[in-house]
Structure 1
Amino acid sequence: MAITEVLKKIKDYFGLIIISGAFLIAAFIVAYNNFVVPKGIEYVSRAGDTVDLIAESFETTAEKILAANPGLDARKVMPAGTRVTIPSNATGKLTVIRIAHWQLEPGVRDGLNYMAAEYQKLHPNVRVVQNAVPESTYGQWFVTQMVGGTPADLMELGKVAYPLMVSYYMRYFMPLTEYITQPNPYNNNNEFAGIPLRETTKDGLKNSYIPEIQEYMGIGLSQFLVRIYYNKTLLAKLAGYTNAPADWREFMDACEKIRKHKYINRKVKKELALYQEKADRIAARIGALDASQHSGEIARLKQELDAVVDTTNAIMKTVPYYVAVANSAYQMGSIENNMFNVVTSKARDILDFNHDCTVSVTETYLGFKTKKIDLNYGPYKAKFSLVSNFCKNCMPGFVGLNRDDGVLLFVQQRGLFLSTGTWDAGMLDEQAKDNGFEVGVMEFPLPTKDDPEFGQYMEGPAFEDPATGFMFGCPTPENEPARRKAAVDFLLFMSSKENNIKLNTMIGWIPCVQGAEGTGILKYFVPHSEGVSSGLNFGIGGESIIKWQQMYALYQVGQISFDKLRDDFTPFYIDRGYKDYLTMMKNWRRNQIVDEKNLTTLRIKAFAATDTNRRDEYFTKYRYVMLRPLTREVDTSYELSLMKSAQNKDFVIPDAYRFSDYARARRGMR
């Protein structure tokens, strides 16, 4: 009866309850977005701050700000980093900014939360909210946020097709060129004071520069490299190596020794221990009996012992062997470039017709079409021999596995070697400690130059030109100046020397600032600034690349031989490659609409600009973007003429430059 009366009362006063609830929520929002400044708090000025702007932000007066800070000049823009005492009891309006990323590795969220807390100490009117999105769905989420007009104030850049990303840069993102080419105010107290931000990083933030727009659109916070992690504990136990294998032969020897051992997990180990204990008891009973007096009992016990042994052997037959390399299709990409392709670099002497030190898809096709080269070429056969021997030490069917499968195999201590980047370093180190083993980092084990089979093809390791990653851009609209200003300033805060080192140390990554090294196992990550590039490139697209990927995967898992791969793929590639190239060119022309959109945007900005210097800058960029497709058209037309001519049997590829007789003799060229 009481419940019925309560429900009736709620029904009678439902409208009043709703109004009261709305009032309380509104009051909470107002209280949340405003706070009373405690006595003596300091605000650190950002670029462009004036006394009037700070007073407006904290809902006080310029006179009170000047009274609390006698040295300030209300008529001037104060230098970034100036500490300003805020009058007590001033009411500050909170600015909430959001930062979104796909990094779910341990330490990333803690590191960003720490940076947010430190930033709030300097800017008490700013709150930073973090939004971590799974990597597999980040691309779709990114596009949805952009189109829906609800992006975070700082968005990690990536996981979206580059042409689409360029259009988003033009439409939504704020150019950061003026900040990257100017000193970072948060570096005022270190050796980078007065030095432009890009010159304080290891790579000059080169991948933050978007040539289609002629602007820097993001700021990266970390540097990433790829190496091989290995289980130090098991490597010593199973293969007898106290140090990492130094070259290809040592690596193969270690893998062979590892594969001879069976991987016995805890459950099986416990089960085997029970049977061993039972066998020991039976053996002890047999030994205690007198054979002349208990022959029947002894015979029965021996049968029982044989049954236990048979059961143990049956269990052992189901136990898998250790896998030397914890691999997957994801990890295979880095292994391909750093271990296998290095022996193909000499093919550049034959295929690099334009002498740009790389072998393009068209140069590879022209070489095969004109029979200047084929898969019987020595360095190519050496590569496939490396691939075959390496893949024998991987999990069967690894080409169908993904990144997490390879990592899980390593963490479970069933696989001893894992190729991955610094983004997994902290997680692997933490998992190793939890699972009772020590993890190490090694270079890719390459053949030495005196290797009897591969040494003649070795010219050096793979060239590495690592770029700064973990890059963020700011898509906050212009009609939210407070959020936009705070977002960019927080990004500058994280990119300063001390904060960047602290952030990456907490995450377990390599800082992007010059002179800063990784800690722990990361100190072994040093890029190869001198190295070689691949001399084989089948990525012409269309049916050709699909055919190649299918057959190469079958070869990797040992289902077809090299002869089968060569004999089936080569004629298909030669016959189909030209058609696939034409399709690729059609797709390229379809993408020219992006340049046209960029031209329109730049032209509008130029006409709308009120500042003369700004207008000239936009017109300069407009001319560059207008000329870019024209210069590309010249290169494409030349490539197309070569591809067309190559369909004739007597075609000879012209060199853009020719080697002298001396140079050809020195290089051993025919």
Structure 2
Amino acid sequence: MPVLKDLLSGVRNYFGVIIIVAAFIVSAILVYMNTSNAGEEVYVVQQGDTLERIASMYQTTVRKICEANYPDVQERDKPDVGMKIRLPHDAKNRIVTVRVAHWSLEPGARDGLNYMAKEYRKLHPNIRIVQEAIPESTYGQWFTTQMVGGTPADLMRDGMVAYNLLISYYVRYFTPLTEYVMNPNPYNRINEFSNTSLRDTMKDGLRSCYIPELQEYMAIGLTLHITRMFYNKTLLRQATGSTEPPKDFAQFMAVCEKIKQYKYFDTKTKGLITGHSNAIASLAAARNGYAAKGDTVRAADAAAKIEEHTRAIDATVQKLNNLVPIANSKYHMNMVEGNLFNVVTSKARNEIDYDHDCIVNVVEQYAGMKSGAITMDYAPYRAKFEIVSNYCRQSVPGFSGLNRDDAAMYFVQQRSVFMPTGTWDAGMLERQAADNGFEVGVMDFPYPSKDSPELFKHFEGPAYEDPTSSFRFACASPENAPERRTAAIDFLLFMAAKDNNIKLNDMIGWNPNIVGGVPAVGILKGFSPHVDGVVPGMNFQIGGESIIKWQQMYALFWVGQISYDKLRDEFTPFYLSRGYQDYLTVSKNWRRSLAMDEKLSSILRVKSFVTTDASKKAEYLEKYRYALLRPLNREMTVAYEQRLMRSASQDVKMPPAYQYSAEALRRIQGK
């Protein structure tokens, strides 16, 4: 009894302390139960996973994983992709952070990627996706800095750097994705593509993601982009009385002339005019009331005030600027160049496409000009510059000094009716149109028709379009971070799966890259490529001083500071005297790629010896032959080009590139 009495006394004396300790213990138990795995958490197996890797990721052992999944999982088993594995009670979730970098600052792009990251984490709770959106103007410098500094994002959108530099980065920093591209996407296992290689599920077969120099697929593209002409339906109706866009170049020019007569009303001006109009309506009602009552004095006073408001409206309108038909910039001119201006130059292929590849390259252009086979007075060339001149006269003044955002601002503020751009801007423009109270439409480029006979006789068809994958991501995770690399590639495959790719592009406002995706709706209906078309027949991109001279003269022609004849007279002699030397300067280092070819061929040969897989062996040997023959083909190509240019310089008469027999012409004309 004394012992019990002492115990009760101690409890009374230390009751408060006991309560605090008990509360602490209970809290600790609750925290432990909430933060520890309850034995029911599962992990979804990704491509390349092993039991050892999963155990390392969750800081447990293979034996414990097998015990938690007995008898379904044994220590020597290789887990299937998509299999769900129960994690042991003591497994600790190690968070893996994957960084995704790109330059698409459009609101939909970031929202779409965030949605994909959220959905992906539902399947892989230990993977955290963080995106880094870098402005387009600085992405190239940022990309290079990250590569050189050894701090690239795990998934880098490739581009904005010189191609030869990108190749060197691919070799040193990026993981080849051929293995994943040539096999079925595990995230397509529940649809019709379960047994189809990832490459064959994409509309373009991921052609742009294949790097011939490396014989590898280095990226995966998630969308397709093509270019069209956007227009403001609301402004078009107000300025012309119709929402129907022009069908050809003659109509386009006529519509532009009408648009230039229409005033631009900003928000402030609209408010002023609305205020005056409301005042006029009120005064008119009052005047009529006074007149009905015979109060001529007040009626006259109301009429005078109406006149004042009317004059105020007229004065305000007189101060307004007129609409500018086309929102343009140097950035947008690059798109119109190939899609509209150059379509009338295609016939030049018949004269100077000496290697019969249906493309006029820089060597053929120079050889044709140097030999006199073609000149700047060639009728299709003059037709092109007539189109350029007329188009530029309808553009924003000083457009050659504006950037992409400046032109987009003109269009969004309803100061212009037309703007050429692509699917990458479609979603943004549709949202801005809704916010600013106008409707946006998409039209094809206004090509010459019979209404422009001098242009139409050189027109053979629309610009040929063969869109390839865009929004491409490559994996730059370092080798010493295998968990990040595996997770990054798996997230890329997740976004490339059918349903996810459709959802991602729908949120952004782009066209899905997946075969058999949902039909385009809304504004995207206007984006179907011209699979039958023509390619340009003019190419002055020879490099060196010649290309600088061409860009300077062409920009002056854009803004009307020089005529076509002056451009021809100044550029032609400079080009003919400098072109060959510029070609040699630009191409003198082409043999430096031999070292890369030799390295690649050696690697492929060793792989073919080592592998025991017959299909892999055949693949490696085929790539080895290509890598071995490529330097020889390049030698032959350069030798041919140099001989062609030297022959042109030696007054050798160059026959037309194509010559048709009478029978061939008869059959062609018959079709």
Residue identity matched to 1:632: R
Residue identity matched to 2:375: D
Say whether the 8 Å CA contact 2:280–2:309 is kept in structure 1: yes
Q: Which residue of 2 aligns with 1:552?
A: 554
Deviation at 1:44, TM superposition (A): 1.4
Residue identity matched to 1:58: Y
Q: Which residue of 2 aligns with 1:530?
A: 532
Bigger drift between 259-268 and 489-498 goes to: 259-268
Q: Distance in 1 between matches of 2:99 and 2:155?
A: 6
Deviation at 1:661, TM superposition (A): 4.8
Deviation at 1:307, TM superposition (A): 9.0
Q: Which residue of 2 aligns with 1:10?
A: none
Q: Distance in 2 between matches of 1:408 and 1:59?
A: 53
Deviation at 1:317, TM superposition (A): 4.1
Indicate yes or no: 2:647 matched with 1:645.
Answer: yes
Q: Which residue of 2 aligns with 1:45?
A: 45
Say whether the 8 Å CA contact 2:368–2:648 is kept in structure 1: no
Residue identity matched to 1:41: E
Q: Which residue of 2 aligns with 1:344?
A: 345
Deviation at 1:360, TM superposition (A): 1.2
Residue identity matched to 1:48: G
Say whether the 8 Å CA contact 1:441–1:521 is kept in structure 2: yes
3-state SS in 2 of match to 1:354: coil
Q: Distance in 2 between matches of 1:127 and 1:278?
A: 60
Q: Which residue of 1 aligns with 2:4?
A: none
Relative to 1, partners in 2 of residues 1:82 and 1:425: Cα closer, same or farther, differing over 3 Å? Answer: same
Bigger drift between 433-442 and 558-567 goes to: 558-567
Residue identity matched to 1:387: V
Q: Distance in 2 between matches of 1:426 and 1:460?
A: 29
Q: Which residue of 2 aligns with 1:384?
A: 385
Relative to 1, partners in 2 of residues 1:427 and 1:35: Cα closer, same or farther, differing over 3 Å? Answer: farther
Say whether the 8 Å CA contact 2:544–2:586 is kept in structure 1: no
Residue identity matched to 1:576: R
- Residues 287-326 of structure 1 correspond to what in structure 2 (within 5 A)? 315-326=316-327
Q: Which residue of 2 aligns with 1:468?
A: 469
Residue identity matched to 1:94: I
Say whether the 8 Å CA contact 2:208–2:469 is kept in structure 1: yes
Relative to 1, partners in 2 of residues 1:173 and 1:552: Cα closer, same or farther, differing over 3 Å? Answer: same
3-state SS in 1 of match to 2:390: helix
Deviations 1:290-339 (A, max 9, x none): 9xxxxxxx999999999988776654443211011111111111111111
Q: Distance in 1 between matches of 2:650 and 2:665?
A: 27
3-state SS in 1 of match to 2:375: coil
Deviation at 1:249, TM superposition (A): 2.5
Deviation at 1:592, TM superposition (A): 3.1
Q: Distance in 2 between matches of 1:280 and 1:450?
A: 46
Indicate yes or no: 2:545 matched with 1:543.
Answer: yes
Q: Which residue of 2 aligns with 1:332?
A: 333
Deviation at 1:74, TM superposition (A): 3.5
3-state SS in 1 of match to 2:376: coil
Deviation at 1:263, TM superposition (A): 0.5
Q: Which residue of 2 aligns with 1:483?
A: 484
Relative to 1, partners in 2 of residues 1:44 and 1:444: Cα closer, same or farther, differing over 3 Å? Answer: same
Indicate yes or no: 2:133 matched with 1:129.
Answer: no
Q: Distance in 1 between matches of 2:217 and 2:149?
A: 24
Q: Which residue of 2 aligns with 1:561?
A: 563
Deviation at 1:605, TM superposition (A): 8.2
Q: Which residue of 2 aligns with 1:415?
A: 416
Residue identity matched to 2:127: V
Deviations 1:124-151 (A, max 9, x none): 2211111111111111111111111111
Say whether the 8 Å CA contact 2:214–2:600 is kept in structure 1: no
Q: Which residue of 2 aligns with 1:446?
A: 447
3-state SS in 2 of match to 1:571: helix
Say whether the 8 Å CA contact 1:505–1:519 is kept in structure 2: no
Deviation at 1:118, TM superposition (A): 1.2
Q: Which residue of 1 aligns with 2:632?
A: 630
Deviation at 1:524, TM superposition (A): 2.4
Say whether the 8 Å CA contact 2:352–2:657 is kept in structure 1: no
Deviations 1:196-248 (A, max 9, x none): 11010001101111111111111111111111111111111211222222222
Bigger drift between 81-90 and 304-313 goes to: 304-313
Residue identity matched to 2:376: L
Deviation at 1:266, TM superposition (A): 2.0
Q: Which residue of 1 aligns with 2:264?
A: 263
Deviation at 1:253, TM superposition (A): 2.4
Say whether the 8 Å CA contact 2:545–2:582 is kept in structure 1: no
Residue identity matched to 2:515: Q
Relative to 1, partners in 2 of residues 1:88 and 1:503: Cα closer, same or farther, differing over 3 Å? Answer: farther
Deviation at 1:194, TM superposition (A): 1.1
Say whether the 8 Å CA contact 1:602–1:619 is kept in structure 2: no
Indicate yes or no: 2:218 matched with 1:217.
Answer: yes
Q: Which residue of 2 aligns with 1:574?
A: 576
CA RMSD of superposed structures (Å):
3.4
Q: Which residue of 1 aligns with 2:78?
A: 77
Q: Which residue of 1 aligns with 2:588?
A: 589
Say whether the 8 Å CA contact 1:167–1:594 is kept in structure 2: no
Say whether the 8 Å CA contact 2:362–2:542 is kept in structure 1: yes
Deviation at 1:498, TM superposition (A): 0.9
Deviations 1:265-293 (A, max 9, x none): 12233445567788999999999999xxx
Bigger drift between 526-535 and 516-525 goes to: 516-525
Q: Distance in 1 between matches of 2:286 and 2:52?
A: 96
Relative to 1, partners in 2 of residues 1:184 and 1:299: Cα closer, same or farther, differing over 3 Å? Answer: closer
Deviations 1:581-624 (A, max 9, x none): x3333332324324424534664786699934689977865664
Q: Distance in 2 between matches of 1:619 and 1:548?
A: 45
Q: Which residue of 1 aligns with 2:431?
A: 430
Note the residue ranges of structure 2 that are not aligned, 5 or more in a row: 1-30, 292-298
Deviation at 1:659, TM superposition (A): 4.0
Deviations 1:57-78 (A, max 9, x none): 2233434433443433442322
3-state SS in 1 of match to 2:457: helix
Q: Distance in 1 between matches of 2:85 and 2:563?
A: 73
Q: Distance in 1 between matches of 2:626 and 2:494?
A: 33
What percentage of residue pairs aligned between the two structures are identical? 52
Q: Distance in 1 between matches of 2:234 and 2:310?
A: 30
Deviation at 1:450, TM superposition (A): 6.4
Deviation at 1:35, TM superposition (A): 6.5
Relative to 1, partners in 2 of residues 1:172 and 1:599: Cα closer, same or farther, differing over 3 Å? Answer: farther
Say whether the 8 Å CA contact 2:344–2:458 is kept in structure 1: yes
Q: Which residue of 1 aligns with 2:59?
A: 59
Residue identity matched to 2:529: P
Q: Which residue of 2 aligns with 1:7?
A: none
Relative to 1, partners in 2 of residues 1:524 and 1:282: Cα closer, same or farther, differing over 3 Å? Answer: closer
Q: Distance in 2 between matches of 1:95 and 1:35?
A: 18
Deviation at 1:89, TM superposition (A): 4.7
TM-score (norm 1): 0.85
Say whether the 8 Å CA contact 1:35–1:94 is kept in structure 2: no
Relative to 1, partners in 2 of residues 1:534 and 1:60: Cα closer, same or farther, differing over 3 Å? Answer: same
Q: Distance in 1 between matches of 2:373 and 2:425?
A: 42
Relative to 1, partners in 2 of residues 1:244 and 1:275: Cα closer, same or farther, differing over 3 Å? Answer: closer
Say whether the 8 Å CA contact 1:327–1:394 is kept in structure 2: yes
Indicate yes or no: 2:228 matched with 1:208.
Answer: no
Q: Distance in 2 between matches of 1:561 and 1:302?
A: 55
Say whether the 8 Å CA contact 2:607–2:620 is kept in structure 1: no
3-state SS in 1 of match to 2:132: strand
Deviation at 1:525, TM superposition (A): 1.1
Q: Which residue of 1 aligns with 2:106?
A: 105
Q: Distance in 2 between matches of 1:526 and 1:557?
A: 32
Count matched residues.
628
Q: Distance in 1 between matches of 2:279 and 2:123?
A: 69
Q: Distance in 2 between matches of 1:284 and 1:259?
A: 36
